[in-house]
Amino acid sequence: MITSIVYGGLGNQMLHYAIGRSLALKYGVKYCLDLSMYEIFKSRPWMREYELRNVFSLPDVVEISSSSVIKKTELLYLMNRKNKFDGKLFQRLSNIVCIADTEDQSDRINRNSTLYGLDHSIRYFKGHISEIKRDFAFKTPLEGKNKMLADEIQGCKSLSLHIRRGDYLNANNIDSYVQVEKEWYYNAIDKVMDIVGRDMNIYVFSDDIPWCREVFSEYKKIKFIDWNIGKDSYRDMQLMSLCKHNIIANSTFSRMAALINANEDQIVICPSHYLKNEKEDMLYFLELPKNWIII
């Protein structure tokens, strides 16, 4: 059985799933999601909710979070934070493989591996992208304003624009995440329009809509999506995945929205940097879909 130790928000959860599920398909074994991190850190203000099961119609996947598993996962997490061991020692401890590494760990992975960490490229699941897209079918259809907007998006030259600012600007994250400037977004919009034409409808998704209204006010055919909040935030991802083209932020939320997009002629514009740590930043660019453009 392949097991993924899952953590983070919805985008990260999807990436954990995509990697682990693809490896389970490769080896013909069951797939398990270890949800211990959500129990270990449930009292932390930065901890997100586990959403995969509520948002998507996933196939038969085992989900575990027993006390013994929690203790083991917590020990591994604390040891890793203190840099007590490298990937080789991970491998010796309960067959755990740390895939947050610029080196391909495929040779260390077997049919009974537990996966820790994230590789944000597609190299571990590129052979099963069609299956992953099927798994990420949204469980409930869009309704009301979202349904009306989805119909509009699918009936025009639609371009989604995702801007993430809120938590990236707080004291805990400002030294970790690259701040994507407004000029980058202007260039990204121009790049898409140069390829497919200027007659584009732009749909803006963000955790800082007031800033976006100010910065992108010069565009005539533009809408700011500001009503999907809290437990409905994933609806923004659902809508982005329906747009013909995507400009994504340095965030796995819009990254995964672009990845599950079914448009065969899709263009994706991606920032050239996600994180300020150069080695960790490389994990986002080791291998990308062919239709993604980095600027």
Among 135, 155, 175, the domain-final residue is: 135
Is residue 95's pLDDT more than 80? no
For the stretch 154-202, pLDDT in tens is: 999 999 999 998 776 676 777 777 788 999 999 999 999 999 999 999 9
Question: Three-state DSSP class for 158?
Answer: strand
124 with 26, same domain: the answer is yes
Cβ atoms < 10 Å from Cβ of 130 = 8
User: Residue 87: pLDDT band by 50, 70, 90 thresholds?
Assistant: very low
Contact between 30 and 62 under an 8 Å Cβ cutoff? The reply is yes
State how far the Cα of 80 lies from the Cα of 97, in Å rounded to an integer.
12
- DSSP assigned state of 96: E
Among 113, 135, 157, the domain-final residue is: 135
Q: Which domain holds residue 270?
A: 144-294
Closest alpha carbon to 253 in 9, 7, 52, 6:
9
126 with 152, same domain: the answer is no
97 with 128, same domain: the answer is yes
Helices then strands, counting H and E runs in the chain, come out as 12, 11
Q: What residue type is 206 in one-letter code?
A: S
User: Residue 208: pLDDT band by 50, 70, 90 thresholds?
Assistant: very high
What was the pLDDT predicted at 287? 87
Q: pTM score, two decimals?
A: 0.90
| Paired sense of beta strands 292-294 and 31-34, if any | unpaired
Is residue 148's pLDDT more than 90? yes
What was the pLDDT predicted at 286? 82
Among 135, 170, 193, the domain-final residue is: 135
For the stretch 66-75, pLDDT in tens is: 666 666 666 6
For the stretch 14-41, pLDDT in tens is: 999 999 999 999 999 999 999 988 888 7
Count the domains in the chain.
2
Question: Three-state DSSP class for 244?
Answer: coil
- DSSP assigned state of 219: -
Interhelix angle for 252-259 vs 10-27, to 10°? 50
Is residue 215's pLDDT more than 70? yes
What was the pLDDT predicted at 136? 97
State how far the Cα of 206 lies from the Cα of 228, in Å rounded to an integer.
10
Contact between 159 and 203 under an 8 Å Cβ cutoff? The reply is yes
CA angle 283, 289, 293 (to 5 degrees): 85
- Centroid of chain to Cα 27: 24
For the stretch 248-260, pLDDT in tens is: 999 999 999 999 9
168 with 148, same domain: the answer is yes
State how far the Cα of 33 lies from the Cα of 114, in Å rounded to an integer.
10
